[in-house]
Structure 1
Amino acid sequence: MKFSPITIFNRGILFCILLVLPAITFVRAQVAINKPALGFTQLCANPDFNTFEINFSFSPAGSLDSSNKFVIEMSDPSGNFVTPIVLNFTEKTAVSTPTSRTLIFSVPTTTGGENYKLRVKTTAPAAVSPVSNSFAAYYKIQDSQFSINNFKATATYCTGGSYLLTIDNPGTGTNDSPLKYPSLTYKWFKEPSLSPIANTPTLTVTSPGRYYVETNYGTCTSDSYSNRVTVGESSGLSATITSSKGNLFCAADGPTTLSTQAANSYQWFKNSTLIVGATSQQYQATDEGQYSVKVDYGGCSSTAVIQIDTVRFNSSLNVDSSTTINEGESKSILVTTDAVSPTFNWYLNNNIIASAVSNTLIVTDKGLYSVIITQSTACASTKKLDFEIKFSSDPNVTLIPNLISPNNDGVNDTWILPQQYGNGTNTQITILNSRGEVALQTTNYQNNWPENEIDFSSINPIYYYVITTQDNKIKKGSITVVK
């Protein structure tokens, strides 16, 4: 069979089209995200303000699948994305275009550094933008003035010794000590220099001068700074304190002996309060606290400080000190504790409940209850927790469950709310975990939380709920998860 040149040419074009079509399809399935632009020069957040904008463009238009999700990732403080932080955000839909987006995000409370970067991802199709310009970012969790040296404006140390300046915790009055917030760092200054000389919670002073400390918020403006203390030098010796049982001791095993060097006279203090009659070289400390001694060497005095803590355990209940139930209703009371091999004794109106020996008690009667938790190993000690159960005088009162056991046994597997707060009532239900993160937020609650398994080993997780009705009535409480 003979083919004309035109026929051969047309078949060649068809063959080329068949080769090119898949390539065209492949290209259309890609998306390119441009470098994101920042809506700020530096990011200075605080509890009252934590919203910032990032905008970016992408191409081509229509390249994103309907199932696509945007993701904002923040680097570590040095700009590294080895373990990026995924940020919560909302989309500013009013300014969205087929090829651009503006996202409003917030940063974690632990944010602090000078060289953060951001990048944007898409999920369908998967793509990653170039990283943004670097920027300083700080969450100013504490941004008010605080005290050092218990607001004492002067201090003295002996020649060859030192004086310890300490941030007060908690301090006096309304003082909001930054030591309450473990993520913070500090910058100490010796006037008139503006260059920091240390970055620790305390400063050992070995030269006379005027000192103060600021919370380190980098290039962000900080209102978190201390009073000034003028430290002088005098001739003499430097006092120290030793504890016979170390800085951590078990009070049940007896006191620890605090000792300082031999001198002319002594005066001991606890938490900056003078201990009447404590004027010897040694002092028997029976409980925890910050102990100090002012030592007079004759012509020169020196003060030493030591923090003594006792071994202890923590315990709490999943109910308030006063809880109301309907007559004929039961309430599950749970003790959460970190005691070593604890034992439990429950009481009703000061009478022991012989059968109650676990960390859970189902109560049906009103009265004054208590539980005594005993730790007999490690450091023997006990702790008593009290609560009261009352009967409601209103039979129509609705009670909200404070305990669930999602173990698929058909009993208390989910958090079941009274009907007046459920689907169709336009009631907003918010559930937060112990870190304050939102685990659920809905205005159409289906009595189905938790939908997924909550994994835990020994410590029973506690969640917190906020119920806001359509007429803005609010109920708050906790939910304990048990196995």
Structure 2
Amino acid sequence: MNSMRPVWLVVAALVLGLRSVAWSCPTTFTLSVLTPQPCQFEQIVLELSGNETNVTYTLLANGLPLSGVSQSVVNGRRRFTVTGGLQNGSYTFSVQATLDTCTIVMGNVTLTVYTPAVPTLSLSSLNQILCYGDPGTIVVVNTDPQASYTVRDGNTVVAGPTQGNGGQIQFVLPASLFPQSGMKTFSVRATALGNSQCYAETANGPLDGATFIVYGLPPAPQISAPEPFACSPGGAARVLVQNAVAGYVYQVLDGNTAVFSVLAQSTGPLDITNIPVTPASPGLGFGTRSVTVVAINPNNNNCRIQSTSSVTITVVSRPATPQLATGTNTQVYCDAPGGVIGYAIVANGEAGVTYEVRRVGTNALVATATGQAGVVTIPISGLTASGSPHQFRVYAISNQTGCVSDPSGTLTIVVNSTPTVTASVQGGGSSATLCMGYTSSVTLIGSSSGAVSFQWLLNGSPIAGATTTSYTVPTGLSVGTYMYQLRATNSLGCSSTSSVVTVSVVAAPAVAVSSSGSTNLCTGYSSGPTLTSSVSNCSGMAQYQWYQNSVAIVGATSSSYTVPAGLSAGTYVYTVVVTCGSCSATSSSVTVTVSPAPTVTISASGSTNLCTGYSSGPTLTSSVSNCSSATYQWQLNGSPISGATSSSYTVPAGLSAGTYTYTLVVTCGSCSATSNSVTVTVSQTPTVTISASGSTNLCTGYSSGPTLTSSVSNCSGTAQYQWYQNSVAIVGATSSSYTVPAGLSAGTYVYTVVVTCG
């Protein structure tokens, strides 16, 4: 068609030229494509090499006008823009130009529009299930040879490009592209060869993309066998997974046979117990077994991972079931302090095992014993009436494998209660002390609950006839310690014995008292005698109490006592009570007699002032009271006068001048009293002479008499004078001289003077 078009144009021009040679046609320009390889529905731009403003231009595609084309003039060139683009295909573009009645077609440009179709994935590629660690596969069918194909994770190419081949293309995606678990989606893009801008792409995942559901798997199990042996029958094996992950199932395999599974509830070590063994089925068989563990995603049983290694578990038979010796299945005891001991007696004992006795119900371990061939006796201690009857079973445990036998028959041990019993000294306490020779004893009192009979024991042996709840210790026991107990028995024949009540008989102390100093005192004495005790047979520390006339002396609690001064007249009996432990002894008495002191006075009959040369002295006489039988001793100047032992005493003549003090000591029994003193003074006798001044021969009618003057010597003290006339004292004549008065009648007058010195 393109080859014919120029001929047609020439003919048209000739025809038009015949009609009017004055018409003109549009200028012919070259048409070029500015979008050389457009994609489907991509905007296409074409341009003429020129433009005429009065010409109408129409863009043709394959000879037909195109709609949706906009025109513009750029730099003097007519430009055509197919805004909405075209669908895939090959197009020849030309431009029809019309000027008045002249229309021409110019330019022929062929352009191919191509965008690959959206890739089609195989059904298996649309939705796939993977286990963590597996690669994924995407298959694209009906591929276009004009396109290349890539698999994309968002904007990232993860597989391809691969050119289409008209058939299918398979992409293998590595496991590293997938999460540990969950959903993963990919898109597939088909890109036109030579123009990467022209492509078609599936959705990323649903609806037409690739969707993978990944089932997670934990790390390969790391396993160990904490218990290398398992027991048959009825036993179980144990495997420990060190790195279990919560939510996964861990399956135990005996070789290739699954025998047990468990779901991990938490992440960390998983202790798989209760793995069955033969004869359970499935279960580990007898002998040495090679055991592995696989971890399985519970949502997809095809997703599993095996342990990194295997462990060895040996399944062995249990020890023989213990058989209790005949007649020992039931045992009866009476309770005792701290409990009683029962016995589990195994008749079919074997070596290489340990026997355990466990309580029925709680399975508490109460006793063990090492196995031996034959009879094995296992003591069970601490059994009391509380919780009776006690029931136990015996198990045999292999020392090598730890396998436990089936339990023995039930062992029943009945512990009957014993009565409670106490004993004490009446009044309280668990001991009493008696003194040797005691006459008043002590009574022991017992009490019990649940008892029907009683027996008192002395030093562990029954006391004949002492079968009540009280017992009086007999008199007459010798020194020693006596231990008493009360045994009480109930209706079940069970007895219990009280704690010991100790009665001690000790030797009584002996005490004597001696006195230092006289015990016969007189009232007014300054110090009394000291009484000293001497104690023997005292056990422990002696305690003292002194008594006066049977009344305790306050504060007198030492081993000696001094009778205080100031006691009134009377008789005082002193004793001391010495206590050694619980024993006391009273000493013999010491009597202190306080007698009234006598009173004595003396007086003198006659002058006590004497002059040397006197002829007789005064007589001293005593007066005594408070004394029924006195003895006397006169003293001169504090010294006894020999022989002066009567109630009176006459001062002898001949004493020289001086002062003499006389006292009398009167003794009444043990009491003495000293009288008041009487002082006798012996003065030197003076000498006196008189002389007259004037005549001593007078005549009646004389006018003055002579003066008499005394002259004194040997006068001690002041002389005193008294003049006498005819031996009659002259009143008032007391000076050393005297004048004879006038007027004396006729007669003879004798004048003397008495001079007193002292």
TM-score with structure 2 setting the length: 0.17
Greater strand share, structure number: 2
- Higher relative contact order, chain-length normalized (CA < 8 Å, sep 6+): 1
Greater helix share, structure number: 1
